Amino acid sequence: MSTDPSTDFAAVQTGYAAYSSGGRGRLRHDITARRVLDELGDRGAHVLDVGCGDGEMVLRLAAAGHRVVGVEKSPGMLATATGRVAAAPDLAGRVTLLEGDIGNLPYADSSFDAVVCHGVVMYLPDSAAPVADLARLVAADGILSVLTKNSLAVGVREALTGRYATARAQIESGQAASVGNLGITTRGDTPDHLDDLARAAGLTPLPWQGVRIFHDHRTDWKPTETEYQEALATEWAASSRSPYRELGRLVHAVARREGAA
């Protein structure tokens, strides 16, 4: 696909909606949301979600009682998020949605108790600048939550789906780029690199998670609700344990700014 998602994510919006609401997308949202909500506790946080897409995490965080600002570059994605928020009037008072770019966020340092950026930096040329831009917005005792492609696991999906030549090339070269769910080439990072970037920005890394370890290759997975809940519990258990977490398609890097709120 030749489209540049950093400027025109709307071109793959239908594909993203199908992925996001399917079993694999649901796993990713459930695991990351649970972790972010666990870290926030019941403090009634002010949260920024950058590259908020269709608003899935915005809605989940608002439903948990937090005040959420969602920033999104794609007007089409933003329109979908706006429509979803409008359909949830009990949450709308806690949500603000804005068009904007991760490289130009109009907020003062330390403005948010949590800054969330899920599934975005893998589409950008590198992670150093965006992580620094996001980290500066995190207040004392606040967290940064970055979900991106795990370059340790490059080739795993390809091998498990029988695309052996592609898998072998990726495994032998250790290349960090591969084609993602939407048919777009995405870039990966190692968890250690993300932790180093957080440290460089003055944050303390918390344990990272591997996300979608056992189900990433099951592209047409349609679990029953019972099977889904069992799968989710299993993925959650493995997400924080080695050697499983290293094989997650995605890495969820979480870091805290030390200091009293």
Ligand X SMILES: C[S@@+](CC[C@H](N)C(=O)[O-])C[C@H]1O[C@@H](n2cnc3c(N)ncnc32)[C@H](O)[C@@H]1O
| Residue ranges that bind ligand X, judged by CB under 6 A | 5-6, 9, 16, 20, 50-53, 56-57, 72-74, 77, 101-102, 118-120, 123
Query: Where are the alpha helices (H) located in 113-224, listed in sequence order?
Result: 128-135, 156-160, 164-173, 191-200
Q: Which is nearer to ligand X, 50 or 251 (CB)?
A: 50
Q: How far is the CB of 32 from ligand X (least distance, A)?
A: 8
Q: How far is the CB of 259 from ligand X (least distance, A)?
A: 27
Q: Which is nearer to ligand X, 76 or 169 (CB)?
A: 76
Q: Which is nearer to ligand X, 74 or 151 (CB)?
A: 74
Q: Which is nearer to ligand X, 125 or 174 (CB)?
A: 125
Query: Pick from 99, 106, 123: which is nearest to 6 by CA?
Result: 123
Q: How far is the CB of 200 from ligand X (least distance, A)?
A: 21
Residue given tokens 């800054």 in the structure block? 115
Please identify the residue of the shown chain whose CB is closest to the bound ligand X. Answer: 53
The Cα–Cα gap between 231 and 139 comes to: 35
Please check whether residue 147 is in contact with residue 175, taking contact to mean a CB–CB distance below 8 angstroms: no
Q: How far is the CB of 261 from ligand X (least distance, A)?
A: 25
Please check whether residue 144 is in contact with residue 153, taking contact to mean a CB–CB distance below 8 angstroms: no
Q: How far is the CB of 51 from ligand X (least distance, A)?
A: 3
Dihedrals φ, ψ of 120, to 5°?
A: -120, -50
Q: Which is nearer to ligand X, 60 or 245 (CB)?
A: 60
* Residues in Cβ contact with 142 at an 8 Å cutoff, skipping those fewer than 6 apart: 45, 110, 112, 113, 114, 115, 256, 257, 261
